[in-house]
Amino acid sequence: MVRIRYTKSRHNKLKVESGKWKALVLFFLTLSACSSTPGNKKYDPGKVNFTATVNPLFDGQVYPSLLLGLNQANAPELNEQLAPFAITVTAPVPNTLLRVVVDSTIFNYVTTFEEILPKRGETYTFLPRVNWKYDLLSGLRQSRPLDLTFTCYINDEQVMTKNLHFTLRTVNECPLSFRHGNQRFDTRWLFAAFVNEDHPYIEQILSEILSQGIVKRISGYQNGAKAVREQVFAVWYYALNRGIAYSSISCTSNPSSSTNVQHIRFFDQVYNSRQANCIDACVFFASILRKIGLRPVIFVEPCHAYLGYYTDRKTDSKIVLLETTITGWVNFPELEKHLDENGRLPEEHFNKVSKYLSEKERKDYLAGKMTFDELKIAVAQSLFVQANEYDLETYTKNKAFFEDPDNFSYQQLDIEKLRQIVAPLPSE
């Protein structure tokens, strides 16, 4: 019989509260000290049968994003299914004191795990939690091999040592699903961990958004659906002024054929590089919308993702879509570089954005009745309308798939609801 128990690691020895258990443990430790001498092991490694393994779901790859996400996750079943390591041991005597020590590496501290194994001859399985250096994991931008050494002690006698070799992936790699045999585990909820409404950059961004003059205040849902749309447009206009271009880097060096992995840029990486693919842009926008009190939703389809947001806090029926990659259709900072001495765009550069204007707006700008800033707002509004409508047909067609909990290919990720499971990953 195999018993699985999920326990937390400890640096100190497990305290046995019952006096009876204490007496039994002391009794067996005394026997061990009296009868065990160097070269004369009391416990046969073959009978103890100690093993340490990497979760077969991971195919030899361990994901810092998942370790960080699970560390903050309020979901015990996920911690059991997705625990990176398992150890098994057969109790050689009744009430065996098991101690397993995981040696330190650059990415983890020495970890000590202890349990009492009550029944002689029974095989036990445990999922020990390694004491990771989470600050280093959150900054890991290059995958690298790692070895962990697990040493098994039975009643304070060292019995066996096992070495685990695996590859520690970059923190930007987000596993979407794992497949092992006929089993498949969906982990797209981890997308929500990349949304970071707590990022320190956002306070400054909100100040810049207000300085644009599109909205006078950030009020969340306090002033109705119209005010919600205006606030989202103000964020949209900020992104266009930031010059965030479309840039796809979804491919990784991950060799696993049984894991579906997506590279996701963190909030600060999108901000600093001014580059984003569909999921990066969704993460960036969702982080800001969450900060201002709105409810963003990320819709994930095969090979694409787009954003949605509720216009009313009290109902899930009023949702507006936003194709965030459309911000890459124009580049306001680049256009601004080509203004002449009168602050006007040369014809060749005006032609790049004139298609987003109405006929009246085109004539007004060419006649000098519209400033460059007014031109930008008009272009931004036109693109915003297109972004709201761009995915509407595919969303309507696939709505039943999004609402099917057993359909792994289509996911509707309500960030507010997922916050009950997982918190934002820490910034570097």
Tell me the per-residue pLDDT of 292-317, one tens digit each, with 9 for 90 and over.
999 999 999 888 899 999 999 887 77
Contacting residues for 122 by C-beta, under 8 A, at least 6 apart:
1, 3, 90, 91
Mean pLDDT for the stretch of residues 344-351 = 93
Q: What is the pLDDT of residue 70?
A: 85
Q: What is the pLDDT of residue 408?
A: 77
pLDDT category, 188, cuts 50, 70, 90?
confident
Q: What is the pLDDT of residue 71?
A: 81
Task: Using the predicted structure, report yes or no on whether residue 358 has a pLDDT greater than 50.
Answer: yes
Residue-wise burial string across 187-207, b where 16 or more C-beta atoms lie within 10 A, e elsewhere = bbbbbbbbbbbebeebeebbe
Q: What is the pLDDT of residue 77?
A: 81
Q: Which residues are 309's β-sheet partners? A: 296, 320
Q: What is the pLDDT of residues 82-98, one digit of tens each?
A: 999 999 999 999 999 99
Mean pLDDT for the stretch of residues 112-141 = 96
Q: What's the mean per-residue pLDDT of the chain?
A: 87
Task: Using the predicted structure, report yes or no on whether residue 213 has a pLDDT greater than 60.
Answer: yes
Q: Which residues are 173's β-sheet partners? A: 263
pTM of the model: 0.84
Q: What is the pLDDT of residue 6?
A: 35
Mean pLDDT for the stretch of residues 236-249 = 90
Q: What is the pLDDT of residues 21-69, one digit of tens each?
A: 333 333 333 333 333 344 577 999 999 999 999 999 999 999 999 999 8
Q: What is the pLDDT of residue 249?
A: 61
Mean pLDDT for the stretch of residues 195-223 = 95
What's at 309, amino acid-wise? Y
Q: What is the pLDDT of residue 254?
A: 62
Q: What is the pLDDT of residue 185?
A: 85
Task: Using the predicted structure, report yes or no on whether residue 382 has a pLDDT greater than 70.
Answer: yes
Instruction: Evaluate whether 336 touches 373 at the Cβ level (below 8 Å).
Output: no
pLDDT category, 177, cuts 50, 70, 90?
confident
What's at 286, amino acid-wise? A
Q: How far is 128 from 404, CA to CA, in rounded Å?
A: 34
Which has the closest alpha carbon to 115: 132, 134, 133, 129? 129
Q: What is the pLDDT of residue 252?
A: 55
Q: Which conformational region is residue 121 in: left (phi greater than 0), alpha (psi within -120 to 50 degrees), or beta?
A: left
Q: What is the pLDDT of residue 255?
A: 64
